[in-house]
């Protein structure tokens, strides 16, 4: 099965590589009941493997590998008790700041999948993050695959200069994840984000599609 669609209209590949299901660690699930409801929603949408990618965002969500491992283990026990037939895997959404490369060197990162993906998000301002290519190079040196989260959000990847940067990132070994279409958001060809997604499709540069689910609702975002 290539993908699935729930009654809420959430489209996924069998592996959802971006979700916030571990409760109590970031702006995702707030308790075990919400986590279980989110699991059921993703399974109904066709997910067969779900990667739990809580934020590792210094000064906002000060999670480390040990903290997320404990939360993941608790989620795994709750999933088994609820009898939900889905494979869970631990990842993280690492924030690209001036300290990320140092955290990688110190082993404070989490990889997942046979690709050894390391999911990371970047600032959404107008300028390319200074540490972007250095972090990509550091991860590749360690045998990992850098996976840039929800690439449709970044203005600095759009336009002529953005296209060149996309080429540079691809050549350096980075891969791209986009978030699913929800309502009028991220519709290919519609608006700046949708136009960028459509362009990525033309280049065959969409490597992963994730739910980025935070709540057990149709849009899945925090209120």
Q: What is the pLDDT of residues 183-213, one digit of tens each?
A: 888 999 999 999 999 999 999 999 999 999 9
Q: What is the mean pLDDT of residues 103-115?
A: 97
Q: Are strands 87-90 and 49-52 parallel, antiparallel or unpaired?
A: parallel
**Would the pLDDT of 99 be above 80?**
yes
Q: What is the mean pLDDT of the chain?
A: 94
Q: Which two tokens stand for residue 178?
A: 């986009």
Q: How many helices (H) and strands (E) does the chain have?
A: 6, 11
Percent helix, strand, coil in the chain, to 5, is 35, 20, 45
Cα 23 to Cα 216: distance, rounded to the nearest angstrom: 12
Per-residue pLDDT of 4-63, as tens digits, reads 444 445 555 699 999 999 999 999 999 999 999 999 999 999 999 999 999 999 999 999
Which domains, from first to last, does the chain contain?
A: 11-210 (3.20.20.140)
């Amino acid at each position: 099965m290539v993908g699935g669609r729930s009654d809420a209209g959430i489209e996924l590949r069998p592996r959802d590589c971006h979700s916030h299901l571990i409760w109590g660690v970031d702006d995702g699930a707030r308790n075990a009941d919400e986590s279980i409801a989110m699991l059921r929603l993703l399974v109904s949408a066709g997910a067969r493997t779900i990667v739990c990618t809580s934020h590792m965002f210094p000064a906002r969500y000060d999670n480390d590998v040990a903290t997320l491992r404990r939360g993941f283990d608790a989620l795994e026990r709750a999933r088994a008790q609820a009898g939900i037939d889905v494979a869970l895997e631990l990842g993280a959404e690492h924030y690209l700041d001036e300290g990320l490369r140092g955290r990688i060197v110190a082993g404070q990162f989490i990889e997942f999948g046979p690709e050894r993906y390391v999911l990371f998000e970047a600032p959404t301002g107008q300028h390319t993050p200074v540490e972007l290519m250095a972090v990509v190079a550091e991860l590749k040196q360690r045998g990992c695959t850098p996976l840039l989260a929800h690439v449709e959000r970044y203005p600095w990847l759009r336009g002529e200069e953005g296209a060149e940067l996309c080429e540079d990132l691809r050549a350096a070994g980075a891969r791209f994840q986009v978030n699913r279409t929800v309502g009028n958001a991220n519709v290919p060809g519609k608006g700046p984000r949708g136009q960028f997604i459509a362009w990525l499709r033309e280049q065959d540069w969409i490597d992963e599609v994730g739910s980025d689910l935070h709540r057990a609702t149709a849009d899945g975002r925090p209120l």
